[in-house]
Chain A
Amino acid sequence: MNIINFTPLSALTGGLLIGFAVFLLFAFNGRMAGVSSISANFILKREQRVDNSLFLIGLILGPTIYSLSGSKIESIITNSIPILIIAGLLVGIGTRIGNGCTSGHGICGISRFSLRSIVATISFILTGIITVLIFGI
């Protein structure tokens, strides 16, 4: 193992902002900013559809606003359509059955010291590591 592309300062800065965003939604609106739950509720449930869609629109505006500062955003996504379809389905099905993703379990749940979320986070990180080990980057 060797360490490459490590950007601790920007990672920590971005993380602090995410923590603040999660705090805002909890302290003012009483809700957890789990992105898989918000996205799934947005299409499956009528309650709070406006709030859910506004959060998701904000999420999409984030990178747009950042790019207005003139900085370039790097985002390299695979163009293999079968991988995108299978990965999208697995992420959609898995986060609903497991009730959360990197934000819901990984950030909100661990911050609440929820054992359930800690177990979920370890599970998806481990399976993610195994998947990369088998299929490569």
Chain B
Amino acid sequence: MIRLISLLSGIIFGLGLTISGMVNPQKVLGFLNIFDAWDPSLIFVMVGAIIIFAPLHFIFKKKSRPILAKNFISIENKNIDKKLLIGSGLFGTGWGLAGLCPGPAIASISFLNPSSLIFVLFMFVGFFIANRIEKNI
């Protein structure tokens, strides 16, 4: 059942990215292009997701355990540090260059477009590099 939920969550997430137009990098770049021709759609995607998850998270986090798994995976890191700012800054720069972030990049593998495959390949290379250099930051 846990596995079915993982798959189902991925499918619904992918459908949401598709319906919202976020699998199109042009829409994402349009959102970041605030000083020229601006497309505010991305804000509505985030607001839609947050108005569903914020109240439900608030209710469910009080439960002793999730419905299927043994425990909630807790997130202890609350630090606002150099690593967070450098990482988010590098991510934002890459996001602004191609208009792709990890969710839409993975979802767009389904188009079998060479461009998205190259991006995903180098994103994974980036995960490996970060894993090596992380401790020195």
Contact = CB atoms under 8 A, between A and B. Distances in A.
Top 4 A-B pairs, shortest CB-CB distance: A62-B14, A92-B126, A58-B10, A15-B48
Contacts of B113: 75, 77
Contacts of A98: 83-88, 90-91
Given A24-B9, A60-B106, A77-B98, A90 B83 contact: no
A106 B118 contact: no
Given A1-B38, A12-B45, A132-B96, A60 B122 contact: no
A75 B14 CA distance: 14
Nearest to B14: A62
Interface in A76-94: 76-79, 81, 83-94
A132 B41 contact: no
B109 to A, nearest CB: 5
Contacts of B17: 14, 18, 59, 62-63
Interface residues of A, number: 109
Q: Say which size band chain B's interface belongs to.
A: 35 or more
B11 A39 contact: no
Interface in A1-46: 1-8, 10-33, 35-36, 39-40, 43-44
Given A23-B57, A98-B83, A17 B15 contact: yes
Given A78-B115, A102-B103, A112 B92 contact: no
Contact of A29 (B41, B54, B69, B89): B69
B48 A12 contact: yes
24 contacts: A6-B40, A11-B20, A13-B20, A18-B12, A21-B12, A24-B9, A30-B70, A35-B106, A44-B131, A51-B3, A52-B6, A54-B3, A58-B10, A59-B13, A60-B107, A75-B108, A88-B125, A88-B126, A95-B91, A99-B77, A112-B75, A116-B77, A132-B29, A135-B96
Nearest to B97: A87
